[in-house]
Amino acid sequence: MNKIRLPKKFSNSHITFFAIAVVLFWIKTYAAYQIEFNLGIDNSLQKFLLLINPLSSALFFFGFALLFKKRTKLVMIITNFILSFLLYANIAYYRFFNDFITVPVLMQTKTNAGQLGDSALSLMSPLDIFYFTDMFILIALALTVFKKVTVTNRKSFKIVLLFSITTFLFNLGLAEKDRPQLLSRSFDRNYLVKYLGAYNFTIYDVIQNIKSSSQRALADSSDITDVENYRKANYAAPNPEYFGKAKGMNVIYISMESFQSFMINYKMPNGQEVTPFLNSLTHDKNTFYFENFYHQTGQGKTSDAEFLMENSLYPMAQGAVFVNKAQNTYQATPSILKGYGYNSAVFHGNYKTFWNRNVMYKALGYDQFFDAEYYSMSEENTKNYGMKDKPFFKESMPLLTNLKQPFYTKFISLSNHFPFEMDPQDTDFPAGDTGDTVVNQYFQSAHYMDQAFEQFFNDLKASGLYDNTVIVMYGDHYGISENHNDAMAKVLGVDEITPAINANLQRVPLFIHVPGVKGGIQKQYGGEVDVRPTLLHLLGIDTKDYMEFGSDLLSKDHRNWALFRNGDFVSPEVIQVKDKCYSTATGEVTDKANACKDISDKVNTELQMSDEVVYKDLLRFYKPQGYTPINPNDYEYLGPKGNKGTKTTTGNN
Ligand code: GP9
Ligand code: MN
């Protein structure tokens, strides 16, 4: 390094050091955009914006270092480290979640700390050091060629700052031209990063979060009126054929980890079915199988699915509602059923703090929470986040049969979780042959999960519970992200995964087993938000007074579409992805833009209404008829040694 010599007039200036820092950082960030993120660039303006957006950030942040008279180079290196770290954190996060880090996500990381284990490591590679090379180059230059440089010039700072602000405004102006209301209508983080860059996105996100906490403080009881009117206008009345058909029965929910519908009836090249048990349920006489059912989760993944299913509200656009809004008032299914004499419990082979569950379940009104502490978490029984599904369901049986009936329970499975790796002794099922390890392993872990469900069903039958229990099984969210599209094209036997195919890959299975009721394959479109009214109506509880956004899947008035948290949607006729309208039948862009516009308006209003409720905590101002509010402080989950369940009884029989 000592051998590098710059002509004196260059090396003698902080501006040269600054310019090197900016250029290296610009190149690196642009390379990261190209290599790591799939931002959906579809015109040359967007290409241009992607190219210039790291520049405005680099000028701005490094420009601040010029304010420092003495340790200018050091400040620039520290700035580089902070920004590089932010970029790399986003890269690792994106590899798994296909999304960017937000402030609430950082708060989740604190909640979930130490438990990310295998998943986090599998997202990193030694080559990632590339994302810090500019910092090392700057350190080397600072210690050699620029060692003696001490002069700084305040004037240069002002010019640079002015230049960076101009670049940013130019950037924003062009972005707004291509995408009006970019900052106000930000359902999709990809858009913000694509137009304004990863660093500006973070600043935007911080401001958004400050805004969100003040929203609650500023809301008052009059804010609920609009939502109430919207809700009344969109209520789908129960179908008399099914209303109350499961009255008084027990309820078991099963969250099927990362399980997507394309696996149903899928056969390996040797003819073996991946999920023979679930396949058999699709034509079980007492089971409804919804084949056009979609997940609607955001960054909160499993916990978002839980939130949707039990509150019939949408999760947050950013972050997990379980983590960020656990202090809100809710009127969730366990608390409603308490008024009908039900006892409620969750079973999950992971520790209770994950996704802030131990706090949120109190707000939902769960009497008991059987978490990892109740299971034998031996080396042999656990993988990745916790209990493997087979020992999990086995060990849950005595806990379940001991519950007072009628019960309302939820089982959250875990084995079929990214990166879908199995211990060799747990599988003899063939891996896929797609050239993509994650996708290949998905078949094996899904097969294992299917066997675990069969074992659980057999145990339920043997215990006598099966004939008096409604069983709702749902895939919580996708397991295979868009990063694996090449392999998925092979799995589905198509040339490429088009936007319409990708939207349909968000299908997750929904099964509802109702003893004594004739089921069958259901074609209507719906999503996780629709399950609560469907279930409550089966139990004979009319939902018209509840502030919820779902529509009973079995109602004759059921609306026939499902929205995604980013504002896209699917319906039998049209699919909308990123403002483009596709025909559901052909998957091609369609000229039926009016059909899209019609549903799109409804989708936007619905998300906006639900966000009002969640962000402003509006349920604190609303009491459904006949509902007795619960107090989260009445609940405590003390673990197997001290758990007495609910501290006091708040039921209203
Ligand atoms: C962890 C489990 C998995 O307890 O719910 O979480 P996910 O990563 O799928 O949200
Ligand atoms: Mn999950």
pLDDT at 273 over 50: yes
Per-residue model confidence as pLDDT tens digits over 414-433: 999 999 999 999 999 999 99
Q: Which residues approach ligand 1 with their CB closer than 6 A?
A: 301-302, 350, 354, 385, 412, 414, 417
Strands 510-513 vs 287-294: parallel, antiparallel or unpaired: antiparallel
Residue 302 falls in the annotated catalytic set:
yes
The lowest-confidence range among 209-223, 298-312, 564-578, 580-594 is 209-223
Q: Are 316 and 548 in contact (CB under 8 A)?
A: no
Average pLDDT over the chain, rounded to an integer: 90
Q: Which residue has the least CA distance to atom 7 on ligand 1?
A: 302
Degrees, nearest 5: CA angle 504-508-514: 135
pLDDT of amino acid 550: 98
pTM, entire model: 0.82
pLDDT of amino acid 184: 62
Determine if residue 345 is left, alpha or beta; phi over 0 gives left, psi from -120 to 50 gives alpha, anything else beta: beta
Q: 437-463 and 389-401 helices cross at what angle (nearest 10)? A: 20
Residue in 354, 392, 411, 413 to alter for ligand 1 test, most ligand atoms within 8 A of Cβ: 354
Distance 637 CA to ligand 2 centre (A): 22
What's the order of all strands across the beta sheet hosting 574-577?
Answer: 562-563, 569-570, 574-577, 580-583
Q: 133-143 and 14-36 helices cross at what angle (nearest 10)? A: 160
Distance 373 CA to ligand 2 centre (A): 20
pLDDT at 9 over 60: no
Q: Are 36 and 94 in contact (CB under 8 A)?
A: yes
pLDDT-above-90 percentage for the chain: 71
Helix (H) or strand (E) run with residue 469 in it: strand 469-475
pLDDT at 94 over 50: yes
Distance 553 CA to ligand 1 centre (A): 26
How is 570-614 classified by DSSP, letter by letter?
E-SSEEEETTEEEETTT-SB-S-HHHHHHHHHHHHHHHHHHHHHH
Q: What is the CA radius of gyration of the chain?
A: 27
Under DSSP, the state recorded for 372 is G
| Cis amide bond preceding 419, omega within 30 | yes
Residues constituting the chain? 653
Under DSSP, the state recorded for 627 is P
Domain ranges within the chain, ordered by starting residue:
8-215, 234-634
Q: Which atom of ligand 1 is nearest to the CA of 412?
A: 5
pLDDT of amino acid 648: 34
Per-residue model confidence as pLDDT tens digits over 328-378: 999 999 999 999 999 999 999 998 888 889 889 999 999 999 999 999 999
Distance 350 CA to ligand 1 centre (A): 9
Determine if residue 462 is left, alpha or beta; phi over 0 gives left, psi from -120 to 50 gives alpha, anything else beta: alpha
Residue 647 pLDDT grade (very low, low, confident, very high; cuts 50, 70, 90): very low
Q: Which of 29, 282, 302, 333 is catalytic?
A: 302
pLDDT at 299 over 50: yes
pLDDT at 116 over 70: no
CA distance 526 to 263: 19
Q: Which residue has the least CA distance to atom 6 on ligand 1?
A: 302
pLDDT of amino acid 145: 87
CA distance 192 to 26: 18
Q: Which ligand is nearest to the CA of 299?
A: 1
Q: Which residue has the least CA distance to atom 5 on ligand 1?
A: 302
CATH number (2.60.260.20, 3.30.1360.120, 3.40.50.970, 3.40.720.10) of 234-634 reads 3.40.720.10
Q: Are 276 and 433 in contact (CB under 8 A)?
A: no
Of residues 344 and 152, more confidence is placed in 344
pLDDT at 123 over 90: no
